[in-house]
Amino acid sequence: MFHKEGYKIIFIAILSFVAALLLTDKFVHIPWLRISIQLVFVFLFVMILQFFRNPNRKIVPNENYFLAPVDGKVVVIEEVFEEEYFKDKRLQVSIFMSPINVHVTRYGASGKIKFSKYHPGKYLVAWHPKASTENERTTVVIETKQFGEVLYRQIAGALARRIVNYAEEGQQVVQGEDAGFIKFGSRVDIYLPLGTKVDVALNQNAVGNQTVIASK
């Protein structure tokens, strides 16, 4: 199953893949070179397919859990000053996505969208300390029943060139539903109220819609 954000790219990739195989078969007459080139195109095609995969992870919403919005490695758990929306200290949990991770963003909790904004910016590597404030990004705040207002930020990385954000202010959202997509590598920052019980550890691999980031 593939995400709708990848349909156009996958279609173009199929056409390019078929054309590449036909052209190499016609014009490259050295067998080992022809096979090598074709294998490279096969690899690239498979990488595009796996990047846009969208595993079916249906859940029963639980207001006591804030679930991982994306797949990836937990790279930050620390108290920080959030300067865009809260303008006070929050507990930040960051998940880094490599190009081989699923890049669907899902709502970590049910609630009402209080804030949703897109910011153009740079394309620093996603683990750079200034990526949260200088890279292209979106900021979304969900008002939840158990955790209060929780902010999550989709951040473009060195390879990402498009962030898709479905959240609209005033919208009621359901935990686990698609919230957006980040194309080709990035990270997501989550800002929780101080004192929130965090259920993940640094360097832990999180799975979107399955791993509990915080609980009540």
Q: Which of 91-100, 128-137, 186-195 has the lowest mean pLDDT?
A: 128-137
Return the closest-CA partner of residue 149 out of 111, 187, 105: 111
- CB 107: neighbour CB atoms within 10 A? 26
CATH number reported for the structural domain that contains residue 109 in this entry? 2.70.70
Answer left, alpha or beta for residue 103, where phi above 0 means left and psi between -120 and 50 means alpha. alpha
For the chain, what is the domain count? 2
Statement to judge: residues 134 and 191 lie in one domain = yes
- Residue 60 located in a structural domain: no
Give the span between the Cα atoms of 118 and 90, in whole angstroms. Answer: 21
Q: Which run of H or of E encompasses 38?
A: helix 31-51
Q: pLDDT digits over 5-55, tens only?
A: 768 878 888 898 888 888 888 888 888 888 888 888 888 888 787 777 888
Catalytic residue list: 186
- CB 56: neighbour CB atoms within 10 A? 6
Give yes or no for a contact between 34 and 28, defined as CB atoms under 8 angstroms apart.
Answer: yes
Statement to judge: residues 100 and 143 lie in one domain = yes
- CB 26: neighbour CB atoms within 10 A? 9
Q: pLDDT digits over 123-167, tens only?
A: 666 566 666 666 788 999 999 999 999 999 998 876 656 788 999
Q: Which of 57-71, 125-139, 171-185 has the lowest mean pLDDT?
A: 125-139
Which residue range(s) make up the domain with 42? 4-51
| Mean per-residue pLDDT, 172-192 | 89
| Mean per-residue pLDDT, 64-68 | 97
